[in-house]
Amino acid sequence: MRQENAIRILRLALAMRGSAGGLSLDDMQRMFDITERTAHRLRNAVIELFPSAEVIVGPDQRRYWRLPRGTADKMVEF
């Protein structure tokens, strides 16, 4: 399906918006059953569309990405 990548990007953005603690690359890999490299690409696409995305270093020293409250309020939910 040609739209699959666009759908994944939108779903990831919605998940990042809905997660107060953010999503790690491992979370993204599990969520979409993708490789680490694909998770990087997907995350980068969301960051390009939403430059206000935040990166948080968790207590486990891993990075987590999220969209701050209000960033994607005008997004269409599926």
pLDDT value of position 70: 72
**Successive 10-residue mean pLDDT values, the chain, 78 residues:** 86 91 96 96 95 94 91 57
Distance CA 67, CA 4 (A): 21
- Boundaries of every domain in the chain: 4-66
The second-level CATH assignment, the architecture, of 4-66 is: Orthogonal Bundle (1.10)
List the structure tokens of 47. Answer: 């960051």
**pLDDT tens digits for 45-56?**
999 999 999 999
**The pTM is what?**
0.82
pLDDT value of position 55: 96
HEC assignment per residue over 1-53: CCCHHHHHHHHHHHHHHHCCCCECHHHHHHHHCCCHHHHHHHHHHHHHHCCCC
